[in-house]
Chain A
Amino acid sequence: MSKFLVSRYSVLITQYYMIGDSMQEVDTQKIKAMLDQKKARMKICLAACASCSLCAESCFLFMSNNKDPQYMPSYKVVNSLGRLYKKKGKATRVMLEDMRDLIWQNCVLCGRCYCPFGIDIPYMISFARSILRSQGISGVFPHTLGAPEDESVDSQDPISP
């Protein structure tokens, strides 16, 4: 996890999640069911990617982080949703925690990614997010760490609806 984004915040977040959720079992059946729902379409989108890396320049996070490949749209998709499909849903908690950084910290879902093949990258990242959310993993941002819980918002999902 500390492979990317070694900031003082990510250490905080790691500690927070080590206490909270790391003991939970991963429901691989549910992940597989979710993956199978959109299997045909997602497999085509993943297969259409020729790993040309031309999507890199369209991501403002890539441009503003010293062109670090970790921020490249295709990298985020291939290493989150692509990995889940490769393992057919048999994910471990550590693996999912690694993905959280990729698809929440490294992506804001602005939808500006350009793919020469027209692959809908934001859709794939949001799909990966919903799979991770079903396992109780979601993006945690520094300002929400100390904030009091808002009862009207799902406690597992402080940021996105």
Chain B
Amino acid sequence: MYELARGPLMWVAAIIFFAGVLYRTVQLFLLTRKKQRDLYTAKPVKKQEATTLSPAERKMNLVVAFQNSLIGKNPIMAIVSFVFHFCLFVAPIFALGHSLVLYESWGISFISLPDGLIDVMTIILLVCGLFFLLRRIVVPRVQSISSPSDYLLLFITTAPFLTGFFAYHQWFDYKTVITLHILAGELMLVAIPFTKLGHMVFFFFIRILIGSEYSFWRGNRTWAT
């Protein structure tokens, strides 16, 4: 089972993941088109405003903007979700064990972070996951829109980290745990393009490329339909 999970199933999962992400990207590009340039641009107005404002007023604008932002309104949730996603990306990519597997298979040596740091990041991620779970159960407004799939996806996301934590500390039967770890990771990769975890792709598109009031960058695309 270990050989199967490490060999062919890993290939299948990786291909499905990359093909799925590519499919989603192409689909999003086809669904949107380039925006026509506005006749009246906001730029000159902004410049004029900036020069007429006094430093105190400018500072007040910043304070108000901060208070109305996500981190000002929901500081705990904003910080926890940022930390969660940071650990979610950094911990698996820079784990020493993963680098070793890569070196043994293909002879590529990849940089890695110290084991202790990765261990702490895994614990932080699991605690953040627990926070999300409790929030889903306890807070009425989250509970009202939670479906079973939300709980399942939270489990799919945290399962590779939980099993990886057990595998690193060799708590249970190592061979079983590491096989479960690989399978859980593959399950997550397969789930990303086709479930709500797809916000890995959608986020950058909808928030950055497609123009809206809240786009991070000058979004110069718009929905075609």
Contact = CB atoms under 8 A, between A and B. Distances in A.
A53 B141 contact: yes
A67 B141 CA distance: 8
Contact of B146 (A47, A51, A54, A72): A51
Interface stretch (B45-53, B113-121, B161-169, B192-200): B192-200
**Residue with the highest number of chain A CB atoms closer than 10 Å, among B203, B206, B225:** B206
Nearest to A62: B141
Given A47-B199, A48-B199, A117-B206, 13 more contacts: A41-B223, A48-B202, A48-B206, A52-B81, A53-B145, A56-B141, A57-B74, A69-B140, A72-B144, A114-B214, A116-B207, A118-B215, A120-B212
A123 B215 CA distance: 16
Nearest to A38: B225
A49 B196 contact: yes
A40 B223 CA distance: 11
Contact of A40 (B73, B142, B225): B225
A67 B215 CA distance: 27
A68 B105 CA distance: 55
A69 B31 contact: no
A37 interface: yes
A118 B147 CA distance: 21
A50 interface: yes
Contact of A44 (B141, B146, B202): B202
B41 interface: no
Given A47-B202, A117-B199, A40 B145 contact: no
A74 B145 contact: yes
Interface of A: 37-38, 40-41, 44-45, 47-54, 56-57, 67, 69-70, 72, 74-75, 78, 114-120
Contacts of A37: 225
A54 B214 CA distance: 14
**Residue with the highest number of chain B CB atoms closer than 10 Å, among A41, A53, A56:** A53
B196 A116 contact: no
Contacts of A72: 141, 144-145
Contacts of A56: 141
Contact of B70 (A45, A53, A54, A67): A54
Nearest to A37: B225
A69 B210 contact: no
B77 interface: yes
12 contacts: A37-B225, A48-B198, A48-B199, A51-B142, A52-B81, A72-B144, A75-B141, A118-B212, A118-B214, A118-B215, A120-B212, A120-B223
A51 B73 CA distance: 17
Nearest to A46: B196
B145 A41 contact: no
Interface in B37-87: 70, 73-74, 77, 81
Contact of A47 (B74, B150, B195, B210): B195
A40 B27 contact: yes
A53 B199 contact: no
Given A44-B202, A115-B214, A69 B141 contact: yes
A119 B206 contact: yes
Contacts of B198: 47-48
Contacts of A44: 27-28, 31, 202
